[in-house]
Structure 1
């Protein structure tokens, strides 16, 4: 992910209304004539990616614990076996530490389904391509695989990594088959959960447009002290309706969500960088360091300095992972060509 396609976000000091025309950020090769597919093993990588979105489907599978991730308006703490399904144009933020290992897959819809030549909202698309169902339910289900499920996913990833490194007859067909089978097995594993949630959350389709605009606004502006009025204007909703949707879909308020996202950023910067506390406070949207210290302590239960010392001490102790997922997990590494 060394390059960025599309222009970076605008000046942090610009008026928030400029986000109406702000370009999206992506971390993939530009699309050429052929549909895109890419898979790679991510390890020994310590990096903070800004919140961004892109026009392809992405799957991130973790083999170890990892820093807090965010998809849409929800935050997650990846564990061994955690998998995240990121639909096109969904704001998200993935973080990697030097101790974490994961597999990142991205693909265009017409790579997986060559016969589908137009785009659909994800809730409609799953009726045509049911293997994409996890992408529609990511905000409502934690996809934490058990050992047997994780082993199957890792084997599928191993095959796709090997095939992607080659240029042989039927490489694309084999990758497509492995990807479809992997998604289908995950759908089967969570079928009961999908059925259970469907009648409970009928608004997933009706409110998806509203929630997408809310997510876009917050992802672009949470470091800029946005107001509820600005968010409501961007989402074309009343203040009360926006608050009700946030409460329904995230269980929290607008201001609490902004604060949570900033503190999440600060926690990872404390561990993944050596930036001073004041610089971190400013980087995550606080202009008053004392106010940041109070907010951090209230949220985390300790000062930023104490949190940094504790987490760095914890990371110095080798983490215990599931059986079969050692530090190298060589089964996922592509074999060198003879």
Structure 2
């Protein structure tokens, strides 16, 4: 099969950071929380089919109903259910206007960080969420725990209290462990249809995303990633353009900038120390790189973040 024809077939599906937004990940947090209504109301409660690169979503529907599209299949989602959506899964929603719940969007760097802490066994189990899955919360202590955790995570995200990041990561860890247990230690009551197998081109792009997470601190050139995938740098750039409307180099730079933001906001490192931490040997070059990407110097970005979190 011609690779270009496979790529062309997916171009009508938009790829967003968050639905309706094409800007880079907006904050130094690696998780974003919002009420279902916050975004759905803006789109008449209809989230059209789209996909995300590098983002994993957990949608908890507390009240109401939704029609859920996953790739080319449609299913119903009821109150008390949780939907797990991995990156590059085409998904869309048509919510009833009384729908209440939360959407939690996790950057894959955070997923990798949390799963590594929990060991290989958990990581291998969590990897099975590479396809979307739907779970019903029980009317028991386990279900109550998850409902409480979802609400607590949303409240913590909206606040600016000390140790906010640590508590959010603890809540996310608990949520992921509980959802993994309920999925693989007991038969889920409802499972949506499996998506179509990824195309070879889609597989190359997903593998590039994984490799980027593993090697971004070493600042490897695009050609090195392409060689590891067995394709040319031009082909890799084409895949990235088709999937997320960015070049491979832009994706590499965005990942480095995200880590730099987190280092500046959540550690007490000096700008020079932060530059070394994210793979730069010259702090002056790091400052120019960061300002070109964000419009602010590292010092200005840190001051702005500190003002927001007071």
TM-score normalised to structure 1 length: 0.45
Higher helix share goes to which structure? 2
Higher strand share goes to which structure? 2
